[in-house]
Amino acid sequence: MSAQPRPTLSVVMPCLNEARTVGACIKKARHFFQSADISGEIIIADNGSKDGSQEIARNLGAQVIAVAERGYGNALRAGIAAARGAYVIMGDSDDSYDFSALGPFVEKLREGYDLVLGNRFAGGIKKGAMPPLHRYFGNPALTFMGRLLYGSPSRDFYCGLRGFRRDAVLSLGLRADGMEFALEMIVKATIQKLRITEVPTTLSPDGRDRPPHLRSWRDGWRSLRFFLLLCPRAVFLYPGIALLIVSGTLFVSLLFGDVKIGIVRLSERALIASSFGTLVGFQSILLWAFGEMIAIERGLFPKNPTFARALRALSLERGLIVGGLIMAIGIVAVAGAAYWWSSTGFGPIEGRSLIGLVCGSSAMVAFGFQCISGSFFAYLLQEARPRTSSSESPPAAEILPSETKERAVAST
């Protein structure tokens, strides 16, 4: 059996009960192939449709991939894995995007871009195509956050119509199961410094006769959660540094007397709170370091030579020595404070000196313990490295149905 020639472009559409619209999307994509004189294939990644969407797609010559695991991300990953084209354009099969107007995407891909994103705000959003909550609040706010945290050039993080080089996106090791898949693609492509650009895209009202699969508040929270999890600097490092500096400065100042800020006078109680804030700030910085190590090891972040040198300098042995010394000094100071307190008959603690000694010595014990435990954990993370890179995409045979496996084998 002779192998079919490899197409230049694969159009991948996730599908779940889109019988009303999937046929129109396929016909438009076919029209584009003909008008642009480009060899292409259409892949419908079906997520368990029960309305006959699969039969409609097959009758129109599209390849249907059955994806058992529910979710937008699961469907697209299977569709991209099954694609044979060097370029892939993905888009929803609800007829909200015009698959006959894919020229700008292909042009940018041929220019050498790795990821070409649609921008609905630049291309036009027709009346009724996007709920006001999404158009004026959710999408702009989350897009702004993504641009702020990651420096991405995208001005429409949620546009579902986008093109990319298949090998470039597979190298990202995308894992999200649901709607976060679209965000994960942009964020990881930005982190890995792929070439990204945008083209204007028009959004039309979808052709469904039922509510969309998107759930505004649930998916909005999942998007926010995803942004924060992939940005340990914003979640842990910057807040930790700020808390450490502010609390540490306040703690040292309060050791010598009350501190007045405006009309507020801070005294012994603020001393206790500032010692706690200093420890929390340092712990937050440690969590950032652990998160950075894991993200670099898994290929989420590019390798950072400065961070690598810092890890080598802060070895397990040095961490144990420094943490042990700090902890030992703190224990001696705690013992001194206890002896001092016993001389008063263990009565109410009065006087800034004794309170300062108790707070300072306790903070040193905790700080030393954090250094020791942090050094051990960092050592474990470095020694427990996976044997194989987790950024590699799973083989297509692991996620495709049997009929697709046969086609993949026949085409190689």
pLDDT tens digit string along 324-376? 999 999 999 888 878 877 777 766 666 566 777 888 888 899 999 999 999 99
391 pLDDT above the threshold of 50: no
Query: How many of the other CB atoms lie within 10 Å of CB of 309?
Result: 10
Residue 95 near residue 84, CB atoms below 8 Å: no
| Eight-state DSSP code of residue 409 | H
Q: 220 falls in which pLDDT band (50, 70, 90)?
A: low
Residue 120 sits in the same domain as residue 167: yes
Residue 37 sits in the same domain as residue 144: yes
Residue 256 sits in the same domain as residue 277: yes
**Residue 313 belongs to domain spanning:** 232-383
Degrees, nearest 5: CA angle 398-18-138: 90
Residue 110 sits in the same domain as residue 217: yes
Strands 264-266 and 259-261: antiparallel
Residue 219 sits in the same domain as residue 164: yes
- pLDDT value of position 145: 83
3-state secondary structure of 254: helix
C-alpha 299/C-alpha 297 separation (Å) is 5
Q: 394 falls in which pLDDT band (50, 70, 90)?
A: very low
HSE at residue 390, side-chain half, CA atoms within 13 A, is 12
Q: What would the pLDDT profile of 261-278 be if each residue is shown by its tens digit?
A: 878 888 778 888 899 999
392 within domain boundaries = no
Query: How many of the other CB atoms lie within 10 Å of CB of 327?
Result: 19
Residue 285 near residue 240, CB atoms below 8 Å: yes
Portion of the chain with pLDDT greater than 90, in percent: 51
Instruction: Answer left, alpha or beta for residue 128, where phi above 0 means left and psi between -120 and 50 means alpha.
Output: left
Q: 390 falls in which pLDDT band (50, 70, 90)?
A: very low
- pLDDT value of position 386: 55
Strands 162-165 and 87-90: antiparallel
Residue type for position 306: T
**Integer-rounded Cα radius of gyration of the chain:** 28
Task: Render 307-358 in DSSP notation, one character per residue.
Answer: HHHHHHHS-HHHHHHHHHHHHHHHHHHHHHHHHHHHHTTS----SHHHHHHH
118 within domain boundaries = yes
Residue 215 sits in the same domain as residue 291: no
Q: What would the pLDDT profile of 16-74 be if each residue is shown by its tens digit?
A: 999 999 999 999 999 999 999 999 999 999 999 999 999 999 999 999 999 999 999 99
412 within domain boundaries = no
Q: How many domains does the chain have?
A: 2
DSSP bridge pairs for 41 = 10
| Eight-state DSSP code of residue 366 | H
Rounded to the nearest integer, the mean pLDDT of the chain is 85
Within the chain, what is the greatest distance between any pair of CA atoms? 96
Q: 150 falls in which pLDDT band (50, 70, 90)?
A: confident
Residue 64 near residue 403, CB atoms below 8 Å: no
pTM: 0.68
Q: What would the pLDDT profile of 188-216 be if each residue is shown by its tens digit?
A: 899 889 999 999 999 999 877 665 656 66
- pLDDT value of position 412: 35
